[in-house]
Amino acid sequence: MPAEIRVFAPATVANVAAGFDILGFALGQPGDEIAIRRRKEPGIVLHNRTDFAAMPLEPSANTAGVALQAMLAHLGSDAGFEITFLHKIKPGSGIGSSAASSAAAVYGANYLLGEPLTRQQLVPFAMEGEKLASGTAHADNVAPALMGGFVLVRSYHPLDLITIPAPPLLHCSIIHPQIELKTEDARKVLKKQISLKDAVVQWGNVAGLIAGLLREDYSLIGRSLHDVIVEPVRSLLIPGYDRIKDAAMQAGALGCSISGSGPSLFALSTSEADAQRISAAMLDVCRACGLQSESYVSGINSQGVRVL
Amino acid sequence: MPAEIRVFAPATVANVAAGFDILGFALGQPGDEIAIRRRKEPGIVLHNRTDFAAMPLEPSANTAGVALQAMLAHLGSDAGFEITFLHKIKPGSGIGSSAASSAAAVYGANYLLGEPLTRQQLVPFAMEGEKLASGTAHADNVAPALMGGFVLVRSYHPLDLITIPAPPLLHCSIIHPQIELKTEDARKVLKKQISLKDAVVQWGNVAGLIAGLLREDYSLIGRSLHDVIVEPVRSLLIPGYDRIKDAAMQAGALGCSISGSGPSLFALSTSEADAQRISAAMLDVCRACGLQSESYVSGINSQGVRVL
């Protein structure tokens, strides 16, 4: 066992249109990278060598620290760890920045402890990091970050995670408009009550999406990528949303919607060339709107977090 | 081509717990049986030789007649048909009695016309029969009656039907308490608005159910057979519901819920012996409640409507 390992945890897209709060998938890139080593003494020590100076380094105020504390408490372990954050997904992007930190920390520490826990067993601890970051212990980012591919959160109580391998051709284009949109605010705009009629449309699409993924039926995946509940309200918080989405669809996307709670958008397609073209088309609209944006093009990450 | 054919159309279970309005499956038995033949003249003539005297025989007032009229209008055909209803699923049972009549009529007539339409193409016409019967042109009974197995109604506008083969071990127990419960009344008790929180639970279960069916994962099917939206209100209209369901679960059912809009209950299991035991346990409770009930035990019908 090396004294120090480096761990990569991928960005993730939660919700996936119709799958609000229950579905997410992992990207090939971007991701978080950490270095982690055992300390001789108990306790967690965090260092920040990323571009983001604002990261809290007190373990109980840091998503990765909280996740790791929860895992060690569960194991009854007094092992100490030193974690250096090397690369960080931009916080507030909507592609699972906090989830990646938590996933990297618990996966790395579990690895150094001889893997007492499976990837799936790590999810509840990483969820504690999410709770710190956004106020709710949601699993639709941390589960795919840890387990790879698509992960369905069938139930939260009890936690029931179903892995769904990504169809091999699937590619993703991410556009991250550089606006601030807090997860808490994106939650605030949601209606607490929805119409049964809309809910029926939504669960028809969720069911279609799962069938499409399991059958590698790209047309069905595309037909099912509709969200009549959350996107109509959240998209109002993202300037130029409809035009950016239109551009993705015109450029051949299977579907396009908000990644997590935004402001990033994701679009799915069936080749890297398509994903590149879709990304370029979306960026063109952002530029025309005067909206500075970052973009990523990636396959689906079937493995999840890994030791580099 | 024989002058007259006999057609069997199976009973169906719609909703399937979490799949309200979007999912149904076909039973091996019971079912409707009709005799159908071409007439020399245009027009539809209906005869009733079933046990149910109250069936309207004016084609425009009969679900099968309306469905067949819609199909012939679509084909621009002036072919005439004579249909004799021989056996009928008890109307008002919640296992797709009207759907079976419509499915049998359009399938039989299409067969006698040399099959200009596929099974799937027959669904919209059979839906017209459903509209007459219940006021809404729902597809979650007629689609499995025509196509067999499980059918997901991914979308109604446009109609997008996804067939899902039934896992081979799956068996169904049906209990039909002899109370009157009109589809319209069962619709009336539904809330028009539901909480987003409940909807998320429901679509997690719908997604899990689809994944379980496609993977033949009986445990996942069972874990996903929960309905937090419709069952809590509709079950109040069925005397002894909770006790009958408890008996099914205690007897080893994967899950149990209301079939369609009730009053029948369905329970799924993984063998005929289990399904028989579950059926007996449910009937015991019905008897203890003084509730006269009929019961059926059946595998899933993978073929759908057929010529006998």
The answer to whether residues A156 and A205 belong to one domain is no
The answer to whether residues B242 and B282 belong to one domain is yes
Cα–Cα dist B305/B147, whole Å: 7
Nearest chain B residue to A215 by CA distance is B214
The answer to whether residues A175 and A148 belong to one domain is no
Given A130, A163, A184, A216, the catalytic residue: A130
> Could you list the pLDDT tens digit for every one of the 308 residues in chain B?
678 999 999 999 999 999 999 999 999 999 999 999 999 999 999 999 998 888 999 999 999 999 999 999 999 999 999 999 999 999 889 999 999 999 999 999 999 999 999 999 999 999 999 999 888 889 999 999 999 999 999 999 999 999 999 999 999 999 999 998 877 788 889 999 999 999 999 999 999 999 999 999 999 999 999 999 999 999 999 999 999 999 999 999 999 999 999 999 999 999 999 999 999 999 999 999 899 999 999 999 999 999 99
Rounded mean pLDDT, A168-180: 95
The answer to whether residues A42 and A86 belong to one domain is yes
Cβ–Cβ contact B224 with A under 8 A: yes
DSSP B300: B
> What pLDDT, in 10s, does the model give residues A243-298?
999 999 999 999 999 999 999 999 999 999 999 999 999 999 999 989 999 999 99
The answer to whether residues A156 and A177 belong to one domain is no
Instruction: Check residue A1 and give its pLDDT.
Output: 65
CB contact under 8 A, A205 and B21: no
Cα–Cα dist B274/B255, whole Å: 12
The answer to whether residues A146 and A74 belong to one domain is yes
Strand A43-48 and strand A80-87: pairing?
parallel
Give 3-state DSSP helix, strand, coil % of chain B, rounded to 5: 40, 25, 35
Cβ–Cβ contact B238 with A under 8 A: no
The answer to whether residues A219 and A236 belong to one domain is yes
Phi, psi of A107 (to 5 degrees): -65, -45
Instruction: Check residue A84 and give its pLDDT.
Output: 97
Number of domains in chain B: 2
The answer to whether residues B20 and B113 belong to one domain is yes
Residue numbers in B near A229 (CB within 8 A): 196, 199
- Are A295 and A175 contacting, i.e. CB atoms less than 8 angstroms apart? yes
Domain membership of residue A68 as a residue range: 4-164+303-307
CB contact under 8 A, B154 and A210: no
Instruction: Check residue A80 and give its pLDDT.
Output: 97
Reported in sequence order, the residue ranges of chain A that DSSP labels E, i.e. its strands, are 4-14, 23-39, 43-48, 80-87, 150-156, 159-164, 171-177, 193-195, 255-258, 265-269, 293-299, 306-307
The answer to whether residues B23 and B140 belong to one domain is yes
Nearest chain A residue to B197 by CA distance is A192
The answer to whether residues B189 and B103 belong to one domain is no
DSSP B189: T
CB contact under 8 A, B191 and A194: no
Backbone region of residue A62 per phi and psi (left: phi > 0; alpha: psi in -120 to 50; beta: other values):
beta
Q: How many CA atoms lie within 13 A of A92 on its CB side?
A: 11
**B97/chain A closest Cα distance in angstroms:** 23
Rounded mean pLDDT, A168-197: 91
B22 closest CB neighbour out of A156, A196, A207: A207
- Which percentage of chain A shows pLDDT scores above 70? 100
Indicate which CATH number applies to the domain containing B192. 3.30.70.890
- Which percentage of chain A shows pLDDT scores above 90? 92
The answer to whether residues A151 and A194 belong to one domain is no
How many CB contacts within 8 angstroms connect chain A with chain B?
132
Instruction: Check residue B285 and give its pLDDT.
Output: 96
- Are A115 and A134 contacting, i.e. CB atoms less than 8 angstroms apart? no
pLDDT of A183 strictly over 80: no
Nearest chain A residue to B19 by CA distance is A203
Nearest chain A residue to B162 by CA distance is A208
> Is A33 in the active site?
no
Indicate which CATH number applies to the domain containing B41. 3.30.230.10
Instruction: Check residue B1 and give its pLDDT.
Output: 65
> Is B130 in the active site?
yes
Cα–Cα dist A177/A93, whole Å: 8
Residue of A263, A299, A72, A239 lying closest to A176 (CA atoms): A263
The answer to whether residues A226 and A132 belong to one domain is no
Cβ–Cβ contact A160 with B under 8 A: yes
Residue of B73, B189, B87 lying closest to B128 (CA atoms): B73
